[in-house]
Amino acid sequence: MTPVFIAGPCVIESAELLDTVAAELVRINRTLGIDIIFKASFDKANRTSLASFRGPGLEKGMQMLSDVKAKHGLRLLTDIHEAWQAAPAAEVVDVLQIPAFLCRQTDLLVAAARTGRTVNIKKAQFLSGLDMQYPVEKARQGGAADVWLTERGNTMGYNNLVVDFRNIPDMLQFTPTVIMDCTHSVQRPGAAGGKTGGDRRFVPPMALAAKAFGATGYFFEVHPDPDRGLSDAANMLRLADLEPLIVKLLQ
């Protein structure tokens, strides 16, 4: 079975950025015969600093994502942070993503489930893979027909994450779709002077290790020039490096 692939910029920075990334994803899809889901956040509500760029907000962000879908025909994924955002976001996107810090928020999970869209729940940095049984149950009892789980590492002391890849087979007990977030897992939270650091060198090994542990999907935040990105600059993958990595994962 072909893995689920999710890719796109961390946050909606501009229409031009969305168009550049979307066009490349369409090209890769055609070349490799896959169906990458386009990801971008309309609001990064958990930035380290109040001064950090958050995005255009729900209304403008949904219009920009709708434009991407109309022009490029890609399936879409975005995060929601509050229950009231679920319904309007679901009018545009195909997958609603629950941020890791919020994966136990019952009202948020149920609101996402009630839209009928696929719900992708990111595993919290403070939970084990086995703990994710309960967010899955909440979403399914709320009416979600399709629930995915995403591994993104666990807190290790201060300003660091570690990935226990055993979480992947553990979470496969609850859903057949377990995705490895290959870019957020290389973060160094809050370790870059008021913003999150990271090291994109480790993105490909994260993906390949996850494949060995049975991951059925891969999540990559990508940017044409990551170091100039307005969010997660240190850990986003260069857009030009996405296709070669996907080829390795498909082998």
Look at residue 143 and give its three-state secondary structure. Answer: coil
CA dist 18 and 30 (Å) reads: 18
Q: What is the pTM of this model?
A: 0.94
CB 239 within 8 A of CB 224: yes
CATH superfamily of this structure's domain 4-250: Aldolase class I (3.20.20.70)
Closest among 76, 54, 53 to 64, alpha carbons compared: 76
Closest among 245, 183, 249, 170 to 217, alpha carbons compared: 249
CB 32 within 8 A of CB 247: yes
Closest among 159, 179, 178 to 234, alpha carbons compared: 159
How would residue 194 be classed by pLDDT, with cut points 50, 70 and 90?
A: low
CA dist 94 and 67 (Å) reads: 14
pLDDT at 159: 83
CA dist 74 and 89 (Å) reads: 16
b/e sequence 137-158, b meaning 16+ C-beta within 10 Å: ebbbebebebbbbbbbbbeeee
Average pLDDT over residues 106-128: 98
Model confidence at 196: pLDDT above 70? no
* CA 72 to the chain's CA centroid: 20
User: How many Cβ atoms sit within 10 Å of the Cβ of residue 2?
Assistant: 11
Model confidence at 51: pLDDT above 90? no
* CA 210 to the chain's CA centroid: 15
> Dihedral (C-alpha) 203, 53, 89, 198: value to the nearest 10 degrees?
10
Q: Which residues have CB under 8 Å from 239's CB, separation 6+?
A: 20, 21, 24, 222, 223, 224
How would residue 189 be classed by pLDDT, with cut points 50, 70 and 90?
A: confident
Mean of the per-residue pLDDT values of the chain? 94
Place of tokens 């994450």: 161
Could you tell me the residue ranges of all domains in the chain? Answer: 4-250
CA dist 234 and 183 (Å) reads: 9
Model confidence at 246: pLDDT above 70? yes
